[in-house]
Amino acid sequence: MLLSELSYLEVEYYLQEKDTILIPTGSTEQHSPYGLLGTDFITAQAVAQEVGKRLDLVVAPTITYGMSQHHMSFAGTVTLSPKTYISLIKEISISFLEHGFKRIIFINGHGGNINPIKTAFDQIKYENYTGILQIISWYLLPEVQEIEKLLYADANGYHATPSEISITKYLNPKAFKTKPTVEKTVTKTKAYQPLSREEFKKIYPDGRVGSAPWLANEKDGKLILEEAVRATMEKVKEIMKLQII
């Protein structure tokens, strides 16, 4: 169920039985000429909402902006500073903790968010709050990586992947009518991390990182999304079994 559609009384009622909330996190950033700027939050939201539906858990509104400074040389990208993003995650989590949620689970679709989310968790614990704080990045789950390997072998890459773009294509095929489908070469340039926006643009001029997004298709999207939902659900179930100290 979606938090945005509940009343505060319904949340109080939910909290008498359960203490878990799922929070989808992503970014608004370039995904090459082939993919949508919303790819990372659209995928995370789809996974979180389906898991919420199947496990009957509350899903918070999606955090659509993230840490995307390395994509800022591409139009349409929005980034929060690390400091702002850490505060955002911290204050959203604390709000839910204060109402009695004890298991705050971020369902994440963007690599750049992982470190600051974990730092926010450290800050919350430093402030002595009780509860379980977890992040599940759907695309890093072994079951998902397995299926990506089967479908795309080495061509999945690390950014603007055919996997994430397939999911968005499955969810919103109309948005792809204006996107290119032409094949290019896949370069496997190794780079240090993190990169500044200028460094990123120099090394990855069209925004792809070792990926072949033209391989994306709706059929794969449906398959990958289902696998991501199943694998995320297992992780969530494990977290729901943990004892609160």
Comparison of 58 and 209: residue with beta carbon closer to Ni ion: 209
Sheet harboring 132-137: ordered strands across? 58-59, 20-25, 103-108, 132-137
Q: Which of 40, 50, 148, 220 binds Ni ion (CB under 5 A)?
A: 40
Closest among 145, 178, 176, 179 to 163, alpha carbons compared: 145
* Residue nearer to Ni ion on the CB measure, 21 or 141: 141
Considering only the stretches 46-54, 129-137, 162-170, 192-200, report the one whose residues sit in contact with Ni ion under the rule CB under 5 A: 162-170
Residues, the chain, total?
Answer: 245
Q: CA-CA distance, 79 to 231, in Å (whole number)? A: 29
In the complex, minimum distance from the CB of residue 96 to Ni ion, in angstroms, rounded to a whole number: 25
Residue 51 CB, shortest distance to Ni ion, in Å, is 19
Q: Which is nearer to Ni ion, 42 or 92 (CB)?
A: 42
CB contact set of 161 (below 8 Å; sequence gap of 6+):
139, 148, 152, 211, 213
Nearer to Ni ion, 19 or 40 (CB): 40
User: CB-wise, 66 or 131, nearer to Ni ion?
Assistant: 66
In the bound state, the residue with its beta carbon closest to Ni ion is: 40
Q: At which residue do the structure tokens 């990586």 appear? A: 145
Question: Any residues with CB less than 8 A from the CB of 235 and at least 6 apart, and which?
Answer: 136, 141
Instruction: Single out the segment in contact with Ni ion by CB under 5 A; choices: 90-98, 156-164, 226-234, 237-245.
Output: 156-164
Q: How far is the CB of 6 from Ni ion (least distance, A)?
A: 29
Q: Give the phi and the psi of residue 218 in degrees, each rounded to 5.
A: -60, -40
The size of the interface with Ni ion (CB under 5 A), counted in residues, is 3
Gap between the Cα atoms of 58 and 68, Å rounded:
27
Looking at the Cβ atoms of 102 and 208, the one nearer to Ni ion is 208
Residue 220 binds Ni ion, judged by CB under 5 A: no
- How many separate helices (H) and strands (E) can be counted in the chain? 8, 4
Report, in Å, the least distance between residue 31 CB and Ni ion.
Answer: 6
Binding letters toward Ni ion, positions 60-89, x by CB under 5 A: ------------------------------
Contact 57, 51 (CB under 8 A): yes
Using CB under 5 A, list all residues that contact Ni ion: 39-40, 164
